[in-house]
């Protein structure tokens, strides 16, 4: 970074340059240089529009547009010297343009302000992140669908309170996450639609007296339309908040799944084996294979929640329109976006590589009296017993099995009849876990046929 003594962009009113501390607190170039490509795209669209509207000459517009491409290639090639004294990416680019092309550079800022400029740059940047997040979520959903299809009829315990509840299928469990990530996908899509209005040309806050064409710049930058209120256009950060809010929910889903993978890969569960590619070892304990990627996903998502809260805090006290507080919007969003993309990619990699241990899942599925509800339902169906009574009879049978340290199917018919005389041998059919899951054919239930129907439906969406 170089240091200039006075500011070329607004120095006219000032007798002295800023204090070093002022410069340090004011500068955003250290991070907003990430928006260089967006800043240059916005300026190129603005210059073309100024010429088309007769506000600057065609030859000035040509010099500006070509000069900006040179600046971009210098930045992308790492040959650009960023200056803290020039505060931010907007003024760094414009100053360099001036050095390259001279006087026409000074005409670029006609009919705009850094307030609409930064809002435009940041929107374009966030829009790219929304697209990237949607790509990452889709890829993860595809990996989950592959797992679900392979194990549509593999049985495992379903839990409530992390206590064995009823048997479910592996495919059903994978598809629960497909539903969650499907909602995340639709939240990102929805946010993208709502945010896609151009702030450019709102100028400082009130619009401009120059005959600009905001529809033209909106279209050139891929926006659906210009934002309809100039005050709102420069002071709106909803688009970044919606990105963070949708990212936070998605991150929460990633974290829940990461938590399950940590539990499932433990020696006590052995439900899944994570690949070596997504695990690490211990420097002292040779037997260890740790689910670090899952743990780091679980931990890193905290940054995304933090960014969401931080930006809400920045915004909540601001009167209209722009305040410099809003410069504090970017770092949080950059960090959240980086970590969301990393977490999505790591989860996709883990899911793709992960092996479900079918035997362990099946052995666990039958333990913990997981078919007790099936037994109670049988009593209702076969003996026309009120469900509350059936629940009570089943409870007595569970207590009996527990006292003998066996599972429900290990009880004899005589044992059963000692609790309720009318029970017949047919009952044993519903005590097996495969029959249990196959019977749950209600829409959205765990039966393999229901799971396969949902896999087919989602393949049509993200396949
Ligand atoms: N660097 C500033 C930001 O990120 C650009 C806008 C500055 N506008 C102003 N009126 N000082 O918000």
pLDDT in tens, 332-346: 999 999 999 999 999
Same structural domain, 28 and 135: no
Euclidean distance between CA atoms 361 and 305, whole angstroms: 34
- Which residues of the chain carry a pLDDT beneath 50? 1-4
Euclidean distance between CA atoms 209 and 201, whole angstroms: 11
Q: Decide: 330 and 31 in contact? Cβ < 8 Å.
A: yes
Cβ 88 under 6 angstroms from ligand 1: yes
Among 59, 73, 266, 282, the active-site one is 282
Write the CATH number for 197.
Answer: 1.20.200.10
Does residue 15 lie in a domain region? no
Quote the pLDDT of residue 295. Answer: 97
Between the CA of 336 and the centroid of ligand 1 the distance, in Å, is: 21
Contacts of 47 (CB under 8 A, 6+ apart): 56, 60, 61, 64, 65, 68, 108
Last residue of a domain, one of 55, 75, 110: 110
Cβ 326 under 6 angstroms from ligand 1: yes
Residue among 118, 199, 233 to mutate when testing ligand 1 (max atoms within 8 A of CB): 118
Cβ 184 under 6 angstroms from ligand 1: no
Last residue of a domain, one of 76, 110, 144: 110
Quote the pLDDT of residue 360. Answer: 97
Same structural domain, 152 and 64: no
User: Residue 266 catalytic?
Assistant: no
Cβ 115 under 6 angstroms from ligand 1: yes
Cβ 147 under 6 angstroms from ligand 1: no
Residue among 7, 11, 114 to mutate when testing ligand 1 (max atoms within 8 A of CB): 114
Same structural domain, 304 and 452: no
Does residue 181 lie in a domain region? yes
Q: Which residue range forms the structural domain that includes residue 45?
A: 20-110
What would the pLDDT profile of 120-161 be if each residue is shown by its tens digit? 999 999 999 999 999 999 999 999 999 999 999 999 999 999
Same structural domain, 209 and 177: yes
Does residue 8 lie in a domain region? no
Query: E strands, 54-196, where?
Result: 155-160, 163-169
Does residue 4 lie in a domain region? no
Quote the pLDDT of residue 240. Answer: 98
Last residue of a domain, one of 110, 134, 154: 110
User: Residue 109 catalytic?
Assistant: no
Domain count, the chain: 3
Does residue 388 lie in a domain region? yes
Q: Where are the alpha helices (DSSP H) in 196-237?
A: 214-220, 230-235
């Amino acid at each position: 970074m170089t240091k200039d003594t006075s500011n070329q962009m607004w120095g006219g009113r000032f007798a002295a340059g800023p204090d070093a501390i002022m410069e340090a607190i004011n500068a955003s170039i250290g991070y907003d240089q990430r928006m260089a490509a967006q800043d240059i795209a916005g300026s190129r669209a603005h210059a073309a529009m100024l010429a088309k509207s007769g506000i600057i000459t065609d030859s000035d517009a040509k010099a500006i547009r070509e000069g900006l491409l040179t600046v971009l290639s210098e930045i992308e090639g790492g040959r650009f010297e960023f200056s803290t004294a020039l505060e931010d990416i907007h003024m760094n680019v414009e100053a360099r343009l001036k050095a390259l092309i001279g006087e026409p550079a000074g005409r670029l800022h006609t009919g705009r302000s850094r307030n609409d400029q930064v809002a435009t740059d940041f929107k374009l940047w966030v829009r790219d992140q929304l697209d990237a997040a949607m790509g990452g979520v889709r890829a993860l959903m595809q990996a989950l669908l592959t797992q679900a299809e392979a194990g549509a009829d593999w049985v495992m315990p379903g839990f409530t309170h992390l206590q064995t509840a009823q048997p479910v299928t592996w495919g059903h469990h994978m598809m629960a996450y497909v539903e969650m990530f499907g909602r995340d996908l639709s939240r990102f899509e929805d946010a993208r639609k709502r945010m896609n209005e151009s702030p450019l040309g709102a100028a400082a806050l009130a619009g401009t007296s120059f005959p600009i064409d905001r529809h033209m710049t909106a279209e050139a930058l891929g926006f659906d339309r210009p934002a309809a209120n100039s005050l709102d256009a420069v002071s709106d950060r909803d688009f970044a908040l919606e990105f963070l809010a949708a990212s936070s929910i998605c991150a929460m889903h990633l974290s829940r799944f990461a938590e399950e993978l940590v539990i499932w890969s433990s020696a006590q569960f052995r439900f899944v084996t994570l690949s070596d590619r997504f695990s690490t070892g211990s420097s002292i304990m040779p037997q260890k294979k740790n689910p670090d990627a899952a743990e780091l996903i679980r931990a890193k998502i905290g940054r995304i929640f933090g960014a969401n809260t931080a930006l809400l805090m920045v915004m909540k006290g601001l009167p209209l329109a722009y305040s410099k507080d809003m410069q504090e919007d970017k770092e949080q969003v950059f960090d959240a976006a980086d970590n969301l993309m990393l977490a999505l990619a790591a989860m996709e990699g883990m899911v793709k590589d992960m092996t479900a241990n079918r035997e362990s899942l099946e052995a666990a599925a039958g333990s913990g009296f997981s078919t007790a509800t099936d037994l109670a339902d049988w009593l209702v169906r076969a003996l026309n017993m009120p469900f509350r009574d059936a629940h009570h009879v089943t409870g007595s049978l569970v207590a009996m099995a527990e006292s003998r340290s066996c599972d429900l199917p290990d009880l004899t018919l005589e044992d059963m009849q000692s609790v309720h005389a009318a029970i017949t041998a047919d009952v044993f059919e519903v005590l097996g876990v495969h029959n249990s899951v196959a019977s749950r054919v209600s829409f959205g239930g765990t039966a393999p046929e229901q799971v396969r129907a949902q896999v087919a439906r989602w393949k049509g969406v993200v396949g």
